[in-house]
Amino acid sequence: MQDKNCLPGSLAKFSLAQGLKRNCGDSQQLARCATLRFVHLAVDIRAACEPQRTGKGQWTLSFCKELLVREHRVTLLAQDGAPIPSELSGAAVRMLPGGVRWHGAARKVVRELRPDVALFPTSFIVSAFSSPHDRTAILVHDMVAFSRGSHDRRAQWIERLTLPRALRQATLRFALSEATREELLKRFPQAGNVPVLGAGPQWGSPPQRVQFPVGICCVGTLCERKNQARLLKAFTLLPPALQEHHPLVIAGGEGWGVSGLPQKIEHTPHARYAGYVNAEEYRKLLQSAAVIVVPSLQEGMGLAMLDALSCGIPLVLSDIPIFREVAGNAAEYCDPRDTASIAAAVQRALQPERAQRLSTLAKERSSLWSWKTVVDRFLNACRALPPR
């Protein structure tokens, strides 16, 4: 299927020219905009099609939503049988065989289509086994696979084996954040130029909070590095009256290294495990949240944090570089390995005057993060490449 995002070459160039006239205004601006080049892009969207979308899947979906409103030809690469998100309906999609055959099929399609750039935002495999002439791009979300701790072992070893080769073979290499970029270059200094793409809140218009929000909320896949077990213990350190008035809600699908944690949450007074929440349930959770807590030991970005900033929800964050990079002074920080520190930060964030101040700072900070900026950065890197 074709629409404005996957137009034939001549028609697409005509649409781009019309868009430049609309968006650039006077002749000087138009002259500057004339340096922009129409590009053909391919994007792996498998993670966006998963029924229980994780942060990487949400990043891919939000990125593609913004990309598809631009005047470029875009081909999405998905897996046979996967439901395409409604937000991406109307785009050109190539359905490829599932399982390990997907990667070989994707490489074949990239060579057939010859896009200016083929982005693989959640996997390094295709880039690792492609030629530099295939013009692939990768996005490094985090360096968790190279750290100690409880992880998905299969995914961990695949990343460890394929990332070094993908860094050599890919035409473009991006990092999700400056913190990830620094960690990547520390381990792989030969990676060279690695621009930061960033992320943004998933809503153009954030949901309105209820008049008297009460919940202490944490959203993310249950796993050791996201540290929900310590958050649960920290919650029990709060004064009983505070626990009763501000119940804890932990939401997210079950990951690894947290055996029995859902049951522990359910057996803790005034705490509730919500499981995986869909988009509407997530929206309602944020609307009723007095505080969002992100106590991760490691993180690539923390999309729930960006959503909270856009809604003006007070944040309690681990004192790690990526969170300082994103939230600045719009949060209370804690030592994620110290339950007393987490509890103290939650108490500070719940104090009325401090909560109001954090809400104001969060909305101001949110203006620094947008999907428009992310896609602009990506397209600028693509346009800097020689034409096909």
Q: For 348, how many CA atoms within 13 A lie in the half-sphere containing its CB?
A: 17
SS3 91: coil
C-alpha 194/C-alpha 345 separation (Å) is 34
Predicted pLDDT at 211: 86
Number of helices (H) and strands (E), helices first, in the chain? 16, 12
- Tell whether the model's pLDDT for residue 257 goes beyond 90: no
Enumerate the β-bridge partners of residue 93.
Answer: 76
State the distance between the two ends of the chain, measured CA to CA, in whole angstroms.
24
**pLDDT exceeds 60 at position 285:** yes
pLDDT at 212: 86
The reported pLDDT for the residue numbered 36 is 56
302 Rama sector, left if φ>0, alpha if ψ -120 to 50, beta otherwise: left
Evaluate if residue 30 carries a pLDDT over 60.
Answer: no
Q: Please state whether the predicted TM-score (pTM) of the whole model is above 0.85.
A: yes
Cα 189–193–198 angle (5° rounding)?
105
103-107 long-range CB contacts below 8 Å, 24 or more apart?
103/129, 106/44, 106/77, 107/134
Residue 293, Ramachandran bin (φ over 0: left; ψ between -120 and 50: alpha; else beta): beta
The answer, yes or no, to whether residue 1 has pLDDT greater than 70, is no
**β partners of residue 332:** 316
How many angstroms separate the CA atoms of 66 and 179, rounded? 24
Q: Which residue has the higher pLDDT, 220 or 29?
A: 220
**Lowest mean pLDDT across 149-153, 252-256, 284-288:** 149-153
Token digits of residue 270: 């005034």
Please state which of the ranges 202-211, 226-235, 287-296 shows the lowest mean pLDDT: 202-211
304, 349 contact by CB (below 8 A): no
Question: In this predicted model, what pLDDT tens digit does every residue of 50-73 receive, in sequence order?
Answer: 999 999 999 999 999 999 999 899
Is residue 15 over pLDDT 60?
A: no
Query: What percent of the chain is predicted at pLDDT more than 90?
Result: 80
367 pLDDT more than 90: yes
pLDDT of residue 207: 87
Rounded Cα distance between 350 and 290, Å, is: 7
Strand partners, 40: 73
C-alpha distance from residue 314 to each of 233, 245, 304 (Å): 20, 17, 12
Q: Mean pLDDT over all residues of the chain?
A: 89
CB atoms within 10 A of CB 315: 27
Q: What is the longest distance spanned by two Cα atoms in the chain?
A: 68
Q: Give the helix/strand (H/E) hosting 326.
A: helix 321-327
Q: What is the pLDDT of residues 113-157, one digit of tens each?
A: 999 999 999 999 999 999 999 999 999 999 999 987 656 788 889
Beta-bridged to residue 76, according to DSSP, are 43, 93
Sole residue written with tokens 């949901």 = 207
> What is the rounded average pLDDT of the residues 343-350?
98
The predicted pLDDT at position 7 comes to 34
